[in-house]
Amino acid sequence: MISITLIIVAITCIISFISFSNAKLMEDLIFYPPSITNSNQWYRFITSGFIHADVQHLAFNMFTLYFFGNSWETAYNNYLGLAKIWYVILYVGALVVSQIPSYIKNRNNYRYSSLGASGAVSAIVFSMILLMPWSTLYVFVLPVPAIIYAVLYLGYTIYMGKRGGDTINHDAHLWGAIFGIVFCIVLKPEVLSMFLEAITHPHFGGIE
């Protein structure tokens, strides 16, 4: 069965690698609020998710997406009809939704731009954590229950988003994660009761 995750990873890698040596392509695809405000270039909400700042940025996002995305396709296939179609809608929707707060704050900021798939990747990761809260994640080789990671990650993104001072779009991470959770609960409300049940019955293992 075809892997939607692998297709997204391949397309993102191809476009990102081309843009590394093509400044014009990078400029045309990057999330740049003034171009959206003044020229109605709304496509930038999506295209900015297919370019990255450098190889490290690309590798981190795509490795994360590869492992969590494949797990998503398998796990949610048991609960959703047309799961792969919903996966694409979730991913593309997260690219858009995760950037909306940044657009609102920077619609006329000519010094602001953003790029990368982090918002969409966060949506996939957190919708999987919703389904498997006690799965084991390895953070800097340390095993951490997914639900603990989720709480710490959200706390960190909220704090850094308010503090600012770096070049990372923490708002996109936060809103991508929230969108992923809400999307799957709306799509399949039973997921929430499954999550609450799982929280009260710890069962370690799963994604690593």
Residues 111-165 pLDDT 10s: 999 999 999 999 999 999 998 888 887 766 788 888 888 888 888 888 877 776 5
Amino acid identity, residue 38? N
Residue identified by tokens 């040596």 is 21
CA distance 34 to 135: 41
- The catalytic residue among 35, 71, 118, 127 is 118
Q: Say whether domain 4-199 belongs to CATH 1.20.1540.10.
A: yes
Cβ atoms of 180 and 160 closer than 8 Å: no
Name the region of 3 (left: φ>0; alpha: ψ -120 to 50; beta: rest): beta
What is the C-alpha separation between 146 and 110, in angstroms, rounded? 38
User: Domain segments of the chain: what residues?
Assistant: 4-199
Active-site residue flag, 3 = no
pLDDT digits (tens, 9 = 90+) for 46-87: 999 999 999 999 998 999 899 899 989 988 888 787 889 999
Cα→Cα distances 161→19, 94, 154, 170, Å: 27, 18, 10, 5
186: confidence class by pLDDT, cuts 50, 70, 90: very high
Closest residue by Cα to residue 65 from 54, 55, 73, 53: 73
What is the distance between the terminal CA atoms of the chain, rounded to a whole angstrom? 23
- With pLDDT > 90 as the criterion, what percentage of the chain qualifies? 64
Integer Cα distance of 151 and 72 in angstroms: 20
CA distance 208 to 198: 18
- Verify whether residue 127 is a known catalytic residue: no
